[in-house]
């Protein structure tokens, strides 16, 4: 006899309902003073939500109160180079390589005395969450990852793609030039709005929604981190030698064994792999969900109900 589907455990969410996190917190963690939002009971199971580029913590503005109401302690940090997160030292390299962004999350967990957490993210955030799940599964109870397995390597990025696929990465090549760095610095809001429109072609976000996130791009280190992130991927910028061992491990594309739900919007206009290309990388209990309704790249903000439900469901795997 077939098992009956369980009813959703997350209350219905209308996207765009929540427009504020309230007062943010700041804490020294690793190389950074991290700005973050927190909600929910202190004793609840911890969920850490990680944003990407060019987005910020407001991608989780609706997801956060929904999970908090369900009993989770929710932590939503600004990535280095965004919002109120700052480097503790002017001498620290403004490094955006993948291993470093993941280590920032672990440092925050250490400071907040969080042994392990459910990690959820998209874009850069999904990559960071995947890195932790793969290399430090003791710190990751379960994973929700938009666009699946995003761990990469410089060697893999050496291989040319078919022209149409290369075209989708136009901004990465632009960022590889001095003109691109200067252009992004000068037009960072116009540039980011264009990316939002291209990556989520059916998302009718309003000016206020964009402005709330765009404020995070005024961070003094924002341009340096973004440019280094994309240049490092294609060997136009060096990483720091002390992270070489981690990058070698990631270049082997390690499997992820923690319970995982991957998500994809049915209208994601950003470069992304097909679910069939990465399903085998998840060797624990695993499920993929494609979210209908014209959902684009910024899935947590466009479809907060689906994202929050995935977090709650993966917790029960």
Is residue 2 very low, low, confident or very high in pLDDT (cuts 50, 70, 90)?
very low
pLDDT (tens digit, 9 = 90+) per residue, 48-81? 999 999 999 999 999 999 999 999 999 999 999 9
pTM more than 0.85: yes
Nearest CA to 132 among 101, 110, 87, 157? 101
Which H or E run includes 263? strand 260-265
Q: Are strands 73-77 and 117-121 parallel, antiparallel or unpaired?
A: unpaired
pLDDT (tens digit, 9 = 90+) per residue, 164-182? 999 999 999 999 999 999 9
Quote the pLDDT of residue 1: 37
Is the backbone of residue 42 left (phi > 0), alpha (psi -120 to 50) or beta?
Answer: alpha
> Does the pLDDT value for residue 4 go beyond 50?
no
Mean confidence (pLDDT) of the chain: 96
Span 255-272, average pLDDT? 98
Q: How far is CA 125 from CA 3, 82, 99, 161, 259, in A?
A: 34, 13, 12, 24, 17
State the alpha helices, DSSP H only, in the chain. 63-69, 98-111, 124-135, 154-157, 163-168, 170-175, 178-186, 188-199, 207-214, 222-233, 244-251, 275-278, 299-302, 304-315
The whole-angstrom distance between residue 93's C-alpha and the CA centroid of its chain comes to 21
């Amino acid at each position: 006899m077939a098992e009956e589907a369980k009813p959703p455990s997350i209350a219905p969410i209308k996207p765009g309902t929540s427009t504020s996190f309230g007062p943010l917190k700041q804490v020294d963690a690793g190389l950074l003073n991290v700005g973050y939002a927190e909600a929910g009971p202190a004793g609840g199971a911890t969920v850490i939500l990680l944003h990407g580029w060019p987005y910020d913590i407001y991608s989780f503005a609706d997801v956060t109160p929904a999970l908090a109401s369900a009993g989770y302690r929710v932590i939503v940090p600004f990535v280095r180079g965004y919002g109120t997160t700052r480097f503790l030292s002017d001498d620290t390299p403004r490094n955006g390589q993948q291993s470093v962004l993941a280590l920032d999350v672990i440092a925050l967990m250490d400071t907040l005395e969080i042994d392990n957490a459910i990690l959820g993210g998209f874009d850069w955030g999904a990559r960071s969450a995947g890195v932790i799940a793969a290399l430090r599964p003791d710190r990751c109870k379960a994973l929700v990852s938009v666009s699946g397995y995003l761990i990469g390597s410089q060697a893999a990025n050496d291989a040319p793609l078919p022209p149409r696929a290369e075209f989708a990465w136009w901004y990465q090549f632009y960022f590889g030039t001095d003109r691109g760095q200067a252009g992004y610095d000068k037009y960072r809001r116009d540039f980011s709005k264009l990316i939002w429109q291209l990556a989520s072609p059916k998302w009718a976000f309003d000016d206020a929604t964009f402005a709330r996130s765009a404020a995070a791009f005024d961070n003094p280190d924002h341009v340096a981190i973004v440019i280094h992130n994309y240049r490092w991927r294609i060997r136009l910028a060096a990483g720091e030698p002390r992270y070489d061992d981690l990058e070698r491990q990631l270049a082997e594309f390690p499997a992820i064994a923690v319970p995982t739900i991957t998500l994809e919007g049915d209208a994601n206009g950003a470069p992304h792999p097909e679910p069939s290309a990465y399903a085998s990388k998840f060797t624990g209990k695993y499920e993929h969900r494609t979210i209908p309704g014209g959902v684009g790249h910024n899935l947590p903000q466009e479809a907060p109900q689906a994202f929050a439900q995935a977090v709650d469901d993966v917790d029960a795997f």
